[in-house]
Amino acid sequence: MSKNLTIYSRFLLALFAYGFASTLHAEPINNEQVVIEGDVLENILDRKLKASGNAILSRGNQSIEANVIEYDQVSEELYANGNVLLKTKSSQIEGTELELSLDSNTGSIPNASFTSILNARNPKFNNTLRGTASLLFIEGDSKKRLQNASITTCEAGQNDWFINASELEINERSQRVDATNAELEFKGFPILFSPYVNFSFNDDRKSGFLVPSIGSTSRSGFETAIPYYFNLSPTSDATITPRYLGKRGTQVSGEYRYLNGDFFGETSLEYLPTDDASSQDNRYYAKIKHAHDLGNGFTAGYNVEKVSDDNYFADMSSLISVTSQVNLNQEAFLNYSDSNWNAQLLTQKFQNLTSSSPYERLPSLTVNHGKLFEDAEGFTTYETNTNFSLTQFERNNDYVGTSPNGARITARPTLSIPLERPYGFVTPKLAMDIKYYDLNDANVTSKDLYIPTLSFDSGLYLDKKISFKEGTFTQTLEPRIFYSYTPYEDQSMLPMFDTALIDLNAQSIFSENQFVGGDRVMDSHQVTVGGTTRFIDSYGMERLSGTIAQRFYIGDRKVLNESQFNNSSAQNDSSDLFLSASALIAKGLKLNVDTQYNLDESSTNRATIGAKYNPRPGKLLNAGYRLIDNPANSANDIKQINIAGQWPLGSGWSSVGRYNYDLKNSSIIESLAGVEFDAGCWSASVLLHSLALGTTEKRNDTLFFQLELGGLGSLGTGSQGSLTEVLDRNVPGSFGLDQLPESYRNENQK
Report field, pTM of the whole predicted structure over 0.85: no
Note whether 421 and 414 are within 8 A (CB): no
Q: Three-state SS string across 329-385, please? A: EEEEEEEEECCCEEEEEEEEEEEECCCCCCCEEEEEEEEEEEEEEECCCCCEEEEEE
Query: If phi over 0 gives left and psi between -120 and 50 gives alpha, with beta otherwise, what is residue 397?
Result: alpha
* Each residue's pLDDT tens digit, 139-191: 988 889 999 999 998 888 888 999 999 999 988 887 788 899 999 899 889 98
Please state, in angstroms and rounded to a whole number, the distance separating the CA atoms of residues 49 and 68.
11
**Residue 363, preceding bond cis, omega within 30 degrees?**
yes
* Each residue's pLDDT tens digit, 672-704: 999 999 888 888 888 888 887 655 667 778 888
State the pLDDT at residue 123: 52
* Each residue's pLDDT tens digit, 422-469: 899 999 999 999 999 999 988 899 999 999 999 999 999 999 999 887
> Pick from 630, 644, 471: which is nearest to 544 by CA?
471
Please state, in angstroms and rounded to a whole number, the distance separating the CA atoms of residues 19 and 26.
10
End-to-end CA distance of the chain: 49
* Each residue's pLDDT tens digit, 555-595: 888 999 888 887 666 677 889 999 999 999 988 999 999 99
Strands 208-209 and 213-217: unpaired
pLDDT reading at 387 higher than 80: yes
> Pick from 130, 46, 129, 59: which is nearest to 100 by CA?
59
Query: If phi over 0 gives left and psi between -120 and 50 gives alpha, with beta otherwise, what is residue 187?
Result: left
Residues 6+ apart with CB under 8 A from 391: 361, 363, 364, 365, 407, 408, 497
* Each residue's pLDDT tens digit, 208-220: 777 777 777 777 8
pLDDT reading at 28 higher than 50: no
Dump strand ranges (E) for 554-681: 577-586, 589-598, 603-616, 619-628, 638-650, 653-662, 667-678
Inter-CA distances, 708 with 83, 351, 649, 674, 716, Å: 35, 39, 20, 16, 8
Q: Indicate the helix (H) or strand (E) that contains 391.
A: strand 380-394
Dump strand ranges (E) for 3-105: 34-37, 40-44, 48-59, 62-72, 77-87, 91-101
> Pick from 214, 221, 220, 140: which is nearest to 173 by CA?
140
Alpha-helix runs per DSSP H in 74-133: none
Residues 6+ apart with CB under 8 A from 400: none
Q: What burial class does residue 189 get, using C-beta atoms within 10 Å of its C-beta: 0-12 exposed, 13-18 middle, 19+ buried?
A: exposed
Note whether 395 and 360 are within 8 A (CB): yes
Strands 228-233 and 106-117: unpaired
3-class secondary structure, 594: strand
Please state, in angstroms and rounded to a whole number, the distance separating the CA atoms of residues 705 and 298.
45
Q: Which residues of 217-233 are buried (b: 16+ CB within 10 A; e: fewer)?
A: bebbeebebbbebbeee
